[in-house]
Chain A
């Protein structure tokens, strides 16, 4: 830098040039690879077959989970999605011309799914899981568009997101996208069967399983290198267990029938779908056809499984263990069995065994505590239309009692998971 004097004007100019260059780069990254917006709202022709296909795909993608508010009109939006950065409100997807997507073209809808940009050019927040939906094919996007356009138009203005500074700025979002988002349709993997590729597409693209089952970094982006390796769902205190670990929710050693039972009925003797997964089964996976369930099963069973960690030897306080054992006998044994063996009805297991139950043994006790505190029912499905349920023990047991109970079921009958403290319970309640 000899011979160049750093005067204030020069520094300012240099900084301005740098900032402008960075902004231009970010702006370019944000729109790179976009297709030209051809066609208009009126030029799109939907056949009944396309609408029916779109209806099926909308279930596979579980669009209604966010875009239909509780008790609200179908796909009219308004539901708040709580994130660590504030609340994002799902938008109106009905074909209302003013407040929905009635004036959108198929190309604009495709750009929203594939590039995360709205019809008016705004960058969309990734609470709308376009980092996953970008892998959806154009043909499927058009089918979804046809289905949504067949809905009853509902005039309901979109709610303004309630995000904190600086997350409320489009510029911040542009930087986030430059760092963590790149568009791209799912490319079938050579050497894998069509079934496997179909399953991978359903899990990664439409099903957006990674939105919960992958860990997120400090900026809320899922980490590709750790795909489906489990994640704590922000603000819900539910841990979406790893699909790539036999110790968590991996299904490599499950039979095809068992995986299908979980996705179609929400219940298997190895565990029931509760909490967020109950919703996924109820609204989405129970409606998948057998071929798609088999495809997802093939893909999920092929995920590389993390080696089992050496089990930590839990130092269990004898007093807590005995206290937990007494609580278990009084509150749990009637259904889950004196030795955690579960309860069987005439048709098979109706109360899952707790001995050897992976949900009980997860390193994070969050789900176990959630279930003891809140109880709950698995979803009603065609295969399990009248589910049995679990009472909530939150109202009748103190934090210390729930901790002792959880500690006991994690250490009894050959189970070996670390103890749970009253503080853990307070955290997860």
Chain B
């Protein structure tokens, strides 16, 4: 971090110097040799720098734990998740590049848009909050916070934060888990959770999650109490 701060002015000078001959020759500036430039295609759906847009369906990827992002890229490549554009983008990519992509989006610490869900019914929000914080012991449903962190901002290295996601995206993921459209490495803990929740529960959780404002710098937690309530193949035990 300190090194990058120190190097930044140097890099700026280097960029300016590099641009001078090009400008003299009247040709456009060189394409930046950066991950930001390489990942431009992702912005078409995931928003600028992967920060999503409140009105859209597509999830925010900026700042998600790198392990989670890599798992998802690999899930698309391996057919455990199905979305044609994602599959098409990653199916001819090496593990090394998928890791670099995951690391880069994970490193972005960007502000969140205001919450998408406003004015949901109070009883729905209350039910959602109860499920997130306490779960539903009578039905064997663990609390979301037991895996996703007390602040619901995820846990390193591979549990995603769930705040700042579009409500429609959240609902669809539960649906996809229930129908087998979305899978994770076995044992697939979220597939089990999804089958425990009623449609009303899913709506409530999605409404609560998408109604929470997110402060700047919602870093994922470093660790969480073990064992997790369910075994998850994509999270190291």
Contact = CB atoms under 8 A, between A and B. Distances in A.
Interface of A: 69-71, 278-279, 281-282, 335, 337-338, 343-347, 350-351, 374-380, 385-393, 395-396
Contacts of B78: 70-71
B40 interface: yes
Given A344-B30, A345-B32, A385 B97 contact: yes
Contacts of B44: 375, 391-393, 395-396
Interface string B26-50: 0110111100011111111100000
A385 B94 contact: yes
Contacts of B39: 389
Contacts of A375: 41, 44, 85, 89
Interface of B: 18, 27-28, 30-33, 37-45, 77-80, 85, 87-89, 91-94, 96-97, 100
Nearest to A339: B28
Q: Could you tell me the dominant secondary structure of chain B's interface residues?
A: helix
A351 B39 CA distance: 13
Choose among A374, A385, A386 the residue with the greatest number of B CB atoms under 10 Å from its CB.
Answer: A386
B28 A343 contact: yes
B80 A346 contact: no
Contacts of A345: 30-33
Nearest to B43: A391
A380 B85 CA distance: 17
A136 B106 CA distance: 48
Contacts of A279: 91-92
Contact of A391 (B33, B40, B96): B40
Contact of A392 (B33, B45, B77, B100): B45
A396 B85 CA distance: 14
Contacts of B33: 345-347
Given A70-B79, A385-B96, 11 more contacts: A70-B78, A70-B87, A281-B92, A282-B92, A343-B31, A344-B31, A374-B88, A376-B89, A388-B31, A389-B39, A395-B45
26 contacts: A70-B78, A70-B79, A278-B92, A345-B33, A346-B18, A350-B31, A375-B41, A375-B44, A375-B85, A376-B41, A377-B93, A378-B92, A379-B93, A380-B92, A380-B94, A385-B96, A386-B100, A388-B37, A389-B39, A391-B40, A391-B41, A391-B43, A392-B44, A392-B45, A392-B85, A395-B45
